Amino acid sequence: MNTKKKSVNVRYMTMTAMLSAIAFVLMMLEFSIPIMPSFIKLDFSELPALIGSFAMGPLSGTVICLIKNLLHLPMSSTGGVGELSNFILGAMFVIPAGLFYKKRKGRKSALIGSLVGAVLMSVVSVASNYFIVYPVYTAFMPMEAIINAYQVILPQADTLLKCLVIFNMPFTFIKGMMNVLITFLVYKHISPIIKGAQER
């Protein structure tokens, strides 16, 4: 019994570490999209965390979010503030998804949990960017220039709060749902590999 439990724990840690490494790589593969200011990037680094949250529980998903940001910290241009915000938003996304799925395993509960997580992440992103991230970015780019970057796309976005609500909030939600879609497409095929020994 102890040997089996130890084997499961080792697999849990190994898979969490592996998914964290993949999340870090995906975090590095960020890219701009035409309908957003150039300093806002899209990446799919929440994908491994969401998969881990479904396969091994919300704690694993949260740890994956933490590790990928710790790995990214040496490359930070915001003194770790961007990574802190990314961790908070990632956790807001994967925890509800993992909790719903853990309570009742099935596509419906996974979808509901993911929707709740995506909504929560998008709402929290407004507060996170308004109070934490953008005040730090003003050390590199004046607030007026930040708002002007949004106004090039939509002239009516004349305050930071408007910019965040009109652009960042729906962008974050769509980003979350894109991660959900990919997870739903691949999860069935890779979950046996991740959970392996836990289900024997």
List helix spans (H) across the chain.
Answer: 2-28, 46-56, 58-72, 81-103, 107-128, 134-137, 143-151, 160-163, 169-195
Residue 3: per-residue pLDDT: 62
Helix (H) or strand (E) holding 42: strand 41-42
Which CATH number do you get for residue 110?
A: 1.10.1760.20
Is 156 contained in some domain?
Answer: yes
Q: Which residues of the chain have pLDDT under 70?
A: 1-8, 197-200
Q: Is residue 34 part of a domain?
A: no
Q: Is residue 118 a part of any domain in this protein?
A: yes
Domain of 12, in residue numbers: 7-29+43-195
* Tens-place pLDDT, residues 178-190: 999 999 999 988 9
Residue 37 lies in a domain: no
Q: How many domains does the chain have?
A: 1
pLDDT at 4: 58
Distance from the Cα of residue 166 to its chain's centroid: 20
Q: Does residue 200 form part of some domain?
A: no
Q: Is residue 10 helix, strand or coil?
A: helix
Instruction: Note the pLDDT of residue 197.
Output: 42
